[in-house]
Structures are given as C-alpha cells and as structure tokens.
Copies of this chain bind each other. A is one copy, B any other.
Amino acid sequence: MNVQATIDTSTEDMMANAIRALAMDAVQAANSGHPGAPMGVADIATVLFNRFMKIDPSADKWPDRDRFVMSAGHGSMLVYALNHMLGYDDMGMEQIRNFRQLGYRTAGHPEYGHAKGIETTTGPLGQGITAAVGMALAERMANARYGDDLVDHYTYVIAGDGCLMEGISHEAIDFAGHHKLGRLIVMWDDNKITIDGDTDVSTSTSQQARFEAAGWHVQSVDGHDKEAIAAAIAAARGVTDKPSMIACRTIIGFGAPNKQGSHDVHGAPLGADEIAAARETLGWSHPAFEVPQEVYDAFHAVAARGRAARLEWEKRLAGHPKQDRFESDQANPDARALDAAINAYKARLSADAPKVATRKASEMALEIVNGTLPNTVGGSADLTGSNLTFTKGMKDVTGSDYSGNYVRFGVREHGMAAIMNGIALHGGFIPYGGTFLVFADYMRGAMRLSALMGLRVVYVLTHDSIGLGEDGPTHQPVETLASLRAIPNMRVFRPADAVETAEAWQAALEMDGTPSVLSLSRQGLPTVRTKHTDTNMTARGAYVLREAPGVRDVTLIATGSEVEIALAAADKLAEAGVKVAVVSAPCFEAFAEQPDAYRETVLGSAPRIGVEAAIRQSWGGLLRPDDAFVGMTGFGASAPAGALYEHFGITAEAVMAAAKTLI
C-alpha cells in the first residue's frame, strides 16, 4: 500500500479538524482531559491514517494490521476520535460524549481491552514507544517465520517530549536501532511544551542527533504540513534496515487561537469561549459532537481500504502451507500437549529427585516448554548465564536474522518488560524474560501494565533472596516479593524445587489474562516432591506437603528455598514428639482463589509459622497476628549464603524455637 496518488487535501483538513473538534468538545464535556496533544497531532494522525494505515475496524484483531500506538497516552481523545470516525462498532458518539465517565470505554488514558483498536495501554510515559518496539520486533520475527504474504505490517507511534525524556525511551531507542527495526516509525510530537512550561526549562538534547546516534533514520518536518508529513512517512517506509524517527514540529492545541503553543492547553478544558474561537479559527461550523458525513466517508474509505487488504490477506492465508501453524501461534498454547509433557517430566523428576537451584530447574522446565510450544520467545536483560533462560537449540534474534527465538535485551530491565508487553500484544508469541528479582524495581512500571492489560508475559526472576550471597544488600531482595504480590492480577510463583518449578511454568503459560513472576533461587535445593502426581499442586497456590501424624500442634508454611528449612525443622520437631504439618505455598494469589474449605484444610487451626527469606508483609492471608514468622526485617548483607541464613536467623533452629513459643 503506497501513498495515494491524489489526496483531497480539503477533506483531509476537515478530517484533522474533526479530530480537534471532538477532542475539544469531549474534554470540555468531561471538564477534564488533555486537548492540546490531539489538536497538535491531528494533522499527523490524519495523514497517517488517511494515506497509510492498514487496519480493518470490522476485524480489529486481524494479525497483519498496522499497529498505531499513541505513546503520549494523555492524548487519548485522538485515539477515540479516530476510532469513532473509522467506524469501530464499539465507539459510538455516546462514548465520545461520555469521555472519562464511569462505565464508558473512553478512559482518561487509552486502556487496552476497553475498546477495539486500542493496541496498548498508554499514559505512563515511555511505555507506548517501548511496547511498540516489541510489536515491531514481533512483526519481523513472525515475518521471518511466515514470509511477506502473511506478515507485512508497520508499527507507527506518536510520542511526545515526555516519552522521550523518560529513561525507558533510551532503552527502546537503543534496542530498536540495534535490531534494525525498519518497520517501526516514530513520529515525535515536537511541540516544545511540557507541563512545567517550555521544554527548554528541563532539556536541551537534540533528539535528532540522539536517535541518529542509536542508528535510526531521522527526518524533520513541519507537523502541520500534510504533504511534508506524507513524504516523510513514505521515505521512512522506504528505509527497511533502520527504524525511523520523524521529528514533527507542531503547535500544541493547534487551532485554539489564544491558548495554542502554551502549556495552558495541555491538560485542561479550553473553556467555552476558546472553543468557540477555535471553531472560528479552524472554520469548523459544526456543533459539538457532530461530524459531517464527508468526514465520516473519508475515514470509512480508510476502513474499506483496510478491509479489502484484509480479505486479500485471508485469501493468501487460506491454503497457505503454514496456515495451521500460523493460526495456532495466534491462539492459546496447546494446554494438552503442555500438560502431557510437563507430567512426564515431573514423573522423572520425582523419581530422580535432583538437587538443583530453582533457576536451574527453570532452565530444565524450559527445555520441556520450549520443546513443546513452538512460539515461546526467551530473553534476559544481560544475565543469560545467571537467569538460565537460554535453552538448547534456541537462537538469537538479531537485526540481520529474525528467525531466532532468543532476545538479547541488554542491560535494560524496564525496556525488556515493556518490549515483552509489546510482543504479547502483537500476538503470535509468548514472551519470557529474566533478570535478578531485586531488579523488578527497575521494570515495575512496565510490569504493572502487564498486569493491567492482562498479558501472558512471564518474568523469570532469579537470585531471589539473601541466598544469592556475596553480592550483598543492593542485590538481595527482601521486600520485592511483597511488592510484586501487591500488584493486582500478577501471579508470583516461588517454587520450592524442580517439580514445583515445572508446575509454575505450566501454570504461568496456561493462564490467559495474567502475567506471572517466577521467583527462583540461586542456590541448590533438594527435590521435596518425591511422589509424583499429575495434579498441578503449585496451581493451587498452597498445599500440604507433609501432614502431621494426628491433630496438628503446629503448621509450618514456607515458600521456595525455605521449604527445605521448614522440612528440616519438621523433622526435628517430630523427633521431639511435636505433630507438625508442612505446607508449601508457592503462589499466594492462586491460594486466595481456592475454595474456603480447601484453604482451611491446608492451613488448619493449629498455630502457624511462616518461613520466607523476605519480610512478613504479604503474608496477611496466611498468618494471624499471633502466628510466628521466620524471615527478614531489613536489608541483607554481603557474605556467603550459608553465613547469611545463620546471621539473619532463618534456620531450622529458629523455626523450632518459634514453634516452642507457640505450642
């Protein structure tokens, strides 16, 4: 699809002004929102959609559509105005009229899943451009697998100054340049305004030089000159071995005669007078929330063009030698095949009872997973040899060969997480990526969006306690588990051995709509699940690993590497005649969803002792105030792991001492 030979520029002016009018009017009606950005980028978006975008609003999930990401998510009215006029059937005018109101799809910032045609949730700055990098990477990876007939689309981004000031943008830009993502085209809304005023109060970077330094193709245009914008997009599309950045010099709030070009227009309604003046300035005589048919027709022509392309694509897909594989990659993973493979593997593990770190167990499980599911994509933020995320037969994805399935994310945790979001959003792949657990702090902004969007992304977070030893307090998570368990719709798995690790992987991959964290040990751990069962006990969240001989005197509840300690304590307590049950609790969130009867059976009514080399916060669902907890109360220290467990009193002896005070 190339630039159309003849464009009715007067209609295009109207299309852009329709965006402006809807943005002004909706923000005014809501008495809340951001008119400046949509009005400023209306010309860019109009040209992009009118002349280039390949989308079909009647098939919003068509895999080969172009992706559009409004990274400056506060400009959400741009997206809603476009999608309304393009004819998405869930974006009627009542949605626009009720912008930012309860029960409507038109949230303050675009929310993935709330309405069709929203490719990702944006608002937290820098997330959109980075997720777009993931989408553009996924496009090339799918193209390498299926060829141009099935996969041949662009990812377009509008990013503001805020997006480009955020650190994550560096990770995105650096990564995209290195991976030569030629189908990624970023239009920078260079309006020289941030909330605090002119951008020159806080930055003087040459964005053009910055992107060039990272290997991008860079152009600069007047963001209100439609022909210049079109020419630049066409040129960007022509550069296939570099991502493109088009610096579009714009006027924020373009058309509002008294407020445009100032931060007054950024995040507040224009007011009735200014809106009237803007209508005058723009020559827009239509009442609020009225769009002339001519404009609808023009946008519907874009939709029709996309529909035709989609139908052509479906013809190419039908009977394509790779049709089945393509379709299965788009669907949920083959749960039956995974279940069979994991169960066979678990049976071997229970028999062999290896003593391995759970990070190693994760690698072993991944050998099974990656051998069973063809569309996993692994990676690590430069800790491959520590996270053990690279399994046999994997191949690096590079800028000259996208056919691999392993991504070298570099020392870019936040970027990794947002890029994984983009890969998951693109579809066709299941991403997982590793770093140290403590560095979840670096990528939390993107992890929250995984959870908010409900994406199947797996975080492989190793070195998950003081058990990592000598690297010391900066590298030892103590509060990280609690902080991750706090995120709604995030599953945190902390498996105790190789069997639970396999189960955690299975549970994480089978869950649609929920990202997962795997919290994994650096240090070796014995197999505690030596009796095989096909049931995924880890998916239940917690279960009785060893029942007491009779009425329980005490219940020990432990996770991950501390299950070994709980079992050792149980042995000694049993010798002393105490009736002890040991509960392994690898996933608090899953356990909270179990029926009350099951939960009560597991927890029992005896005094409880929680054991986890972390702080007590987040144990509120398992422990009562009078129960005991053996764990951490502050930061760690630098020393061999064994010395640290002794020093901080996370030992079988400490558990026994706690038990004695309780029973």
Chain B residues contacting A195 (CB-CB under 8 Å) are 382-386
1/0 per residue, CB under 8 A from B, across A380-407: the answer is: 1011111000000000100000000000
Q: Is the CB of B408 within 8 A of A196?
A: yes
Contacting residue for A165 out of B30, B412, B483, B623, CB 8 A: B412
Kindly identify which residue among B102, B206, B483, B635 contacts A639, using a CB–CB cutoff of 8 Å: B102
Q: How far is the CB of A167 from chain B (nearest CB, A)?
A: 3
Are A196 and B382 in contact, CB atoms less than 8 angstroms apart? yes
Within 8 A of B (CB), among A440-475: 441-442, 444-445, 448-449, 451-452, 469-475
Complex partner residue of A482 from B102, B396, B482, B633, CB under 8 angstroms: B482
Q: Chain B residues with Cβ under 8 A from A194's Cβ?
A: 382, 410-411
B470 and A396: CB pair below 8 A?
no
> Which residue of B196, B215, B386, B470 contacts A108 across the interface (Cβ within 8 Å)?
B470
Contact A177 B162 (CB under 8 A): no
Query: How close is A644's CB to chain B, nearest CB, in angstroms?
Result: 7
Asked if A2 is an interface residue, CB under 8 A from chain B, the answer is no
CA distance in complex: A452, B485 (Å):
22
Please tell me which stretch of A89-97, A141-149, A611-619, A655-663 contacts chain B, meaning at least 4 of its Cβ atoms lie within 8 angstroms of it.
A611-619
A644 to B107, CA, bound (A): 13
Q: Report B-chain residues with C-beta under 8 Å of the C-beta of A206.
A: 213-214
Contacts of A101 in B (CB 8 A): 638-640, 643
A292-351 contacts to B (CB < 8 Å): none
| A12 at the B interface (CB under 8 A) | no
Q: Which of A47-55, A118-126, A220-228 contacts B (4 or more CB under 8 A)?
A: A118-126
**A396 contacts which chain B residues (CB < 8 A)?**
201
Please, which residue of chain B has its CB at the minimum distance from the CB of A473? B452
Which among B100, B204, B208 is the interface contact of A215 at CB below 8 angstroms?
Answer: B204
Contact A486 B488 (CB under 8 A): no
Task: Quote the shortest CB–CB distance from A643 to chain B (angstroms).
Answer: 5
With A167-B170, A639-B101: A618-B617 Cβ-Cβ less than 8 Å: yes
Closest to A633 in B: B488
Residues of the B chain whose Cβ atoms lie less than 8 Å from the Cβ of A643 = 101-102
Of B438, B452, B634, which is within 8 A of A635 by CB?
B452
Per the bound structure, the CA–CA distance linking A116 and B486 in Å amounts to 37
A422 at the interface (CB under 8 A from B): no
Which chain B positions have C-beta within 8 A of A438? 124
The 8 Å CB contact of A210, one of B210, B472, B473, B478, is B210
Whether A489 sits at the interface, judged by CB under 8 Å, is: yes
| Chain B min CB distance to A181 (Å) | 12
A168 at the interface (CB under 8 A from B): yes
Cβ < 8 Å to B, chain A residues 399-442: 408-415, 438-439, 441-442
Q: Give the shortest distance, in Å, between A589 (CB) and chain B (any CB).
A: 11
**Beta-carbon contact of B470 and A452 below 8 Å:** no
From 11 to 28 in chain A, residues with beta carbon under 8 angstroms from any chain B beta carbon are: none
- Which residues from B are CB-within-8-Å of A215? 204-205
A547 beta carbon closer than 8 Å to chain B: no
Q: B470 and A33: CB pair below 8 A?
A: yes
Nearest CB in chain B: distance from A92 CB, A:
18
Would A637 and B102 count as touching, CB distance under 8 A? yes
Mark contacts of A188-205 with chain B using CB atoms, 8 A cut-off: 1 yes-contact digit, 0 otherwise: 000000111000011111
Whether, in the assembled complex, A277 has its beta carbon less than 8 Å from a beta carbon of chain B, the answer is no
**Quick check: is A169 within 8 A (CB to CB) of the other chain?**
yes
**Contact between A167 and B165, CB atoms less than 8 A apart:** no
Provide the bound-state CA to CA distance between A103 and B640, in Å. 11
Tell me which of B410, B617, B638 contacts A617 (CB under 8 A). B617
Q: Are B647's CB and A102's CB within 8 A?
A: yes
Question: Cβ of A486 and Cβ of B452 under 8 Å apart?
Answer: no
A479 at the interface (CB under 8 A from B): yes
Q: Please pick, from B177, B208, B488, B619, the residue contacting A204 in the complex, using a CB distance under 8 A.
A: B177
A214–B203 CA distance with the chains assembled, in angstroms: 8
How far, in Å, is A290 (CB) from chain B's closest CB?
Answer: 24
Contacts of A487 in B (CB 8 A): 479, 483
CA distance A207 to B215 in the complex (A): 11
Docked-complex contact B408 and A201, CB < 8 angstroms: yes
In the assembled complex, the CB of A440 is this many whole angstroms from the nearest CB of chain B, namely 9
Whether A411 and B638, one on each chain, are in contact in the complex, defined by CB atoms closer than 8 angstroms, is no
Are B174 and A482 closer than 8 Å at their CB atoms? no
* Docked CA distance A635–B124 (Å): 15
Chain A residues within CB distance 8 Å of chain B: 30, 32-33, 73, 100-103, 106-109, 111, 121-125, 161-162, 165-171, 174-175, 177-178, 194-196, 201-210, 212-215, 380, 382-386, 396, 408-415, 438-439, 441-442, 444-445, 448-449, 451-452, 469-475, 478-479, 482-483, 485-489, 615-620, 623-625, 633-635, 637-640, 643-644, 647
> What are 15 sample pairs from A and B whose C-beta atoms fall under 8 A apart?
A101-B640, A107-B638, A109-B475, A161-B411, A162-B411, A165-B171, A167-B169, A194-B382, A195-B383, A196-B408, A210-B210, A441-B448, A449-B474, A489-B635, A617-B620
Q: Which 3 A-B pairs have the closest CB atoms?
A: A167-B167, A202-B410, A170-B170
Beyond A33-B470, A444-B483, A452-B474, 16 additional contacts (C-beta under 8 Å) are A102-B643, A102-B647, A107-B473, A124-B439, A165-B174, A174-B205, A175-B203, A194-B410, A201-B396, A202-B382, A202-B408, A210-B214, A441-B445, A449-B474, A483-B483, A488-B633
